[in-house]
Amino acid sequence: MKKVRNKIGKYEVGRTIGEGTFAKVKFAKNTDTGDSVAIKVMAKSTILKHRMVEQIKREISIMKIVRHPNIVRLHEVLASKTKIYIILEFVMGGELYDKIAQQGKLSENDSRRYFQQLIDAVAHCHKKGVYHRDLKPENLLLDAFGNLKVSDFGLSALTKQGVDVLHTTCGTPNYVAPEVLGNQGYDGAAADVWSCGVILYVLMAGYLPFEEADLPALYNGINAAEFVCPFWFSAGAKTLIQKILDPNPKTRMKIEEIRKDPWFRRNYVPVRLSEDVEVNLDDVQAVFDDIEDKYVSEKSESTEGGPLIMNAFEMITLSQGLNLSPLFDRRQDYVKRQTRFVSRKPARVIISYIEAATESMGLKVHSRNYKMRLEGVAANNVAQFAVVLEVFEVAPSLFMVDVQKAAGDTLEYHKFYKNLCGKLESIIWRPMEPAPDSGMLRQMTV
């Protein structure tokens, strides 16, 4: 049996909980305090190869600067000879996107509460000279208490004092302000406000205000602000959204005006922040300067054999609470960006079935041990599409296949996952079937 437990400084590293083109995110525990954290792992060679040093330094610096209860906290930055480790707050409630995908539209009160927390976080960023530029439900996480946490500052801009005009076109098209698409320079604060307005619309409607099959039509709709509020929007919410989704950034509602709006202020409890502490960024520079870093001790104990064993605590962190049923019921789970199914077949058999199924879907397959990366071109023949799969043993003769989107559109990922499950129907175990060692699974839930 194969067991791998890495140690990075005082952190014991477990499973991979996210994977992108340039980084992996690992679940870990602080051995001093017992607290859970997320560790973003990046290879220095990859950062240098893609000339991303300044971008990564900016992202780390920004996260140190914007400390706020509604922003994912950066605890510290470590480095080894070959890798950089960003130690982040572990937010176990999942993405706000998942909640919308599962429930559809949210209640007006819930939408307002998330919007209030979002505006508080964005206002704090702007006060610090930081503009996020990629605000969307997939970058908004929920903690165990249902509080919103803004994440992913990879596209953020940190402006110099007195400079507010930005020029880089970036972000997700459906959430991007018209002036950003115009490529003529834009106010970062006004652009973020527009994205917040789109998010509020999505929370209350359950769908996007601007959604077209092709980009030219989408851009035309955004530039003209052509959208219709559903009949269930209250008059106050409708008025607020219309003022925010104003295609003219100069007349668009500003954050201080949003905070004074009667609809916004209902049950509003502003966040009280402690006094600003001066942020020292010397350690960020040191991470990139000192190749022979002294701060990290990497230890790895491994023996060849089967897939990684997932312990009960790690399973609970996947379930967004203590209810483990979503882990084993693919009907509840297939709408998410990260999805999983369970099989009673041997791990090697599961891998061979997946390889055959995905190759028949025209995807390139890269396999190593019990982990796979699938790559292809998205349906629009423009963007790249990539998925990462990993097999875990959760009980004797019972295996979980964890599937995550690594690149591409989330809706396209939904279609892929549904198609994959159809092709793997013969090996997927369903909860109503008798499971081996079901008593062990019951013990795990206690």
Q: How far is CA 384 from the centre of its chain?
A: 18
**Amino acid identity of 138?**
E
Nearest to 249 by CA among 199, 176, 200: 176
The token duo for 335 is 């709408």
Contact by Cβ (8 Å): 337, 415: no
- Spatial distance between the Cα atoms of 350 and 343, rounded to a whole number of angstroms: 8
For 307, counting Cβ atoms within 10 Å of its Cβ (0-12 exposed, 13-18 middle, 19+ buried), the class is buried
Phi and psi dihedrals of 337, rounded to 5?
A: -70, -35
Torsion of CA 22, 147, 28, 397, to 10 degrees: -100
Which residues belong to the active site?
134
The token duo for 413 is 């990922």
- Residue 218: CB partners within 8 Å, gap ≥ 6? 173, 174, 210, 211, 212
49 marked ligand binding residue: yes
The helix-helix angle for 53-65 and 282-289 (nearest 10°) equals 150
User: Which helix or strand (DSSP H or E) is residue 197 part of?
Assistant: helix 188-205
Q: How far from 372 is each of 53, 221, 398, 405, CA to CA, in Å? A: 28, 39, 19, 12
Ramachandran bin of 120, using left for φ above 0, alpha for ψ from -120 to 50, beta for the remaining angles: alpha
- Residue 108: CB partners within 8 Å, gap ≥ 6? 204, 234, 237
Hey, what long-range contacts does 443-446 have (CB within 8 A, 24 or more apart)? 443/312, 444/312, 444/315, 444/324, 445/312, 445/322, 445/324
Supply the DSSP symbol for 35.
-
Nearest to 125 by CA among 105, 139, 104: 139
Contact by Cβ (8 Å): 293, 81: yes
**Amino acid identity of 159?**
T
Known binding-site positions: 49
Residues of the binding site for ATP: 49
